A and B are shown apart, each in its own frame.
Chain A
Amino acid sequence: MTEKKKERIDIHAYLAEMEDIPGTRVFTAQRARKGYWLNQFAMSLMKEENRERFKADESAYLDEWNLTPAAKQAVLDRDYNAMIDEGGNVYFLSKLFSTDGQSFQKAAGSMTGMSEAEYAQMMINGGRSPEGVRSKKGGY
């Protein structure tokens, strides 16, 4: 036998902790699997010809991507929180808001329930404090 390995991280405890952060969906394997086609659809928008086809008929283009009805609706509504619930990841989804000519700040702000101006002002004021939004269980 080789020497005993270092102490291992308990994967179940690790993954459980990832779900303990308020207002946050960490891109775990479970979400990555759920969002596979949604994210691959978003990647397809890296090609100009695909962006053109998507813009010409969004619904028809989305039908090519094996999406759940909820994921399709979330894209049509540009509801980024709903897309993340469907397993979307913001770096993949950035291809969608870039196709729409939107900035990262506008897209991120749209998930907070704040107006674009309120969100921009919050950032200028030093951003959102971590106070009270570190842990659901701990409440700190």
Chain B
Amino acid sequence: MARVTTGITSSHIPALGAAMQTGKSRDDYWGPVFKGYDPIKEWIAKPENTPDVIVLVYNDHASAFDMNIIPTFAIGCGERFKPADEGWGPRPVPDVIGHPDLAWHIAQSLILDDFDMCIFNQMDVDHGCTVPLSMMFGEPDEWPCKVIPFPVNVVTYPPPSGARCFALGDSIKAAVESFPEDLNVHVWGTGGMSHQLQGPRAGLINKDFDLKFIDMLINDPETLSKMPHIEYLREAGSEGIELVMWLIMRGALGDKVKDLYNFYHIPASNTALGALILQPEETAGEALDPRVVHSGHSLEAAE
């Protein structure tokens, strides 16, 4: 049977993709970010850790969905998805190859489990989906695994509640586990952490909130899932609301998890960045060494 072996969180900001494309990923500004991702890249490149399929939770940034249609939870069931042209031409990355059998299985299972999904077959995927792939897999000719795009509306209010996202993750786990084929499935939650991209308050970063969020995501996601939207907005900035998507990933991992790797960095352009590898405690592998890495301004080196 298929299993959710791993949850990963990652930033998806377009500037990371641009830094790779323009050869700046090892300069003074971006170097610490990419260095923080190096252990994840090495870890995921090992055959036993490379997923067969990723359920990639992200928000579409007004690329595939305009004001005409605003699905709260959507799932890509098509064969392949092209990188979107977001105003500067499509990102020069491979097409995302879907897994229609598993995607349709998850879609049907979720609907029977009271999540009224929006299903799409044809859709371009934007930086929210492709930048995390680039950060984990570099610049290959094709992605090393199948990807099921799973866009969540966090742009037009109200987005789904944290509790609803957490419960959805649990339903995704059940759906994956009822798929007969033997597959290593990852669920990725992308976006965040604290950031605000609009108005006079733009540039907001809240390290204390972010580090507490990571801790609760690992140790007490149930309580975390009850945090109301207004607290995300006040504490983590208007775009910090993307963090609700991490609860979908966390919900898919069961009660107890082990953090194999825990990276936090300030700043990546306008944002604070968090990248985690989590696994269900009962099947968790070895933690990376070092396990916790903090970098950037105003952060003491961890461990």
Assembled-state Cα–Cα distance A105/B268 (Å): 10
B203: which of A17, A21, A109 is its contact (CB, 8 Å)? A109
Q: Is B201 an interface residue (CB 8 A)?
A: yes
Closest residue of chain A to B231 (Cβ to Cβ) is: A134
Assembled-state Cα–Cα distance A105/B267 (Å): 11
Q: Is B266 an interface residue (CB 8 A)?
A: yes
Closest residue of chain A to B198 (Cβ to Cβ) is: A90
In contact, B87 and A98 (Cβ under 8 angstroms): yes
Q: How many residues of A contact B (CB 8 A)?
A: 60
In contact, A127 and B199 (Cβ under 8 angstroms): no
In contact, A23 and B199 (Cβ under 8 angstroms): yes
Closest residue of chain B to A98 (Cβ to Cβ) is: B87
Closest residue of chain A to B18 (Cβ to Cβ) is: A103
The A interface, classified by DSSP as helix, strand, loop or mixed, is helix
Question: With a CB–CB cut-off of 8 A, which chain B residues contact A108?
Answer: 196-198, 202-203, 270
A-contact 0/1 string along B43-84, CB 8 Å cutoff: 000000000000000000111001110000000000000001
CB distance from B269 to the nearest CB of A (A): 5
In contact, B88 and A124 (Cβ under 8 angstroms): no
Q: Is B25 an interface residue (CB 8 A)?
A: no
Question: With a CB–CB cut-off of 8 A, which chain A residues contact B13?
Answer: 104
In contact, B87 and A91 (Cβ under 8 angstroms): no
In contact, B86 and A95 (Cβ under 8 angstroms): yes
Assembled-state Cα–Cα distance A90/B233 (Å): 15
Assembled-state Cα–Cα distance A136/B87 (Å): 35
Question: With a CB–CB cut-off of 8 A, which chain A residues contact B88?
Answer: 98-99, 101
A98: which of B86, B198, B267 is its contact (CB, 8 Å)? B86
A81: which of B62, B199, B230 is its contact (CB, 8 Å)? B199
In contact, B204 and A133 (Cβ under 8 angstroms): yes
The B interface, classified by DSSP as helix, strand, loop or mixed, is loop
Question: With a CB–CB cut-off of 8 A, which chain B residues contact A126?
Answer: 205, 207, 266-267, 296-298
Assembled-state Cα–Cα distance A89/B201 (Å): 15
Q: Is B234 an interface residue (CB 8 A)?
A: yes
Q: Is A26 an interface residue (CB 8 A)?
A: yes
Q: Is B92 an interface residue (CB 8 A)?
A: no
**When A104-B269, A105-B269, A126-B207 are in contact, do A90 and B197 touch as well, CB less than 8 Å?**
yes
Assembled-state Cα–Cα distance A84/B13 (Å): 21
Q: Is A4 an interface residue (CB 8 A)?
A: no
Closest residue of chain A to B268 (Cβ to Cβ) is: A123
**When A46-B85, A119-B203, A126-B297 are in contact, do A18 and B62 touch as well, CB less than 8 Å?**
no
Q: Is B180 an interface residue (CB 8 A)?
A: no
**When A17-B230, A126-B297 are in contact, do A32 and B67 touch as well, CB less than 8 Å?**
yes
Q: Is A130 an interface residue (CB 8 A)?
A: yes
Question: With a CB–CB cut-off of 8 A, which chain A residues contact B204?
Answer: 127-130, 133
Question: With a CB–CB cut-off of 8 A, which chain A residues contact B296?
Answer: 126
Closest residue of chain B to A138 (Cβ to Cβ) is: B234
Assembled-state Cα–Cα distance A101/B22 (Å): 14
A-contact 0/1 string along B262-294, CB 8 Å cutoff: 000011011010000000000000000000000
B238: which of A26, A51, A105 is its contact (CB, 8 Å)? A26
In contact, A21 and B66 (Cβ under 8 angstroms): no
**When A24-B238, A39-B67, A105-B269 are in contact, do A29 and B196 touch as well, CB less than 8 Å?**
no
CB distance from A131 to the nearest CB of B (A): 9
Please list 6 pairs of residues, one from A and one from B, whose beta carbons are closer than 8 Å in the complex, sorted by A's number. Answer: A18-B230, A22-B200, A27-B156, A99-B87, A126-B297, A127-B194
Chain B positions near chain A (C-beta within 8 angstroms):
13-15, 18, 61-63, 66-68, 84-89, 155-158, 194, 196-207, 209, 229-230, 233-235, 237-239, 266-267, 269-270, 272, 296-298
Chain A positions near chain B (C-beta within 8 angstroms):
14, 17-18, 20-29, 32, 36, 39-40, 42-43, 45-48, 51, 80-81, 84, 89-92, 94-99, 101, 103-105, 107-109, 111-113, 119, 122-130, 133-135
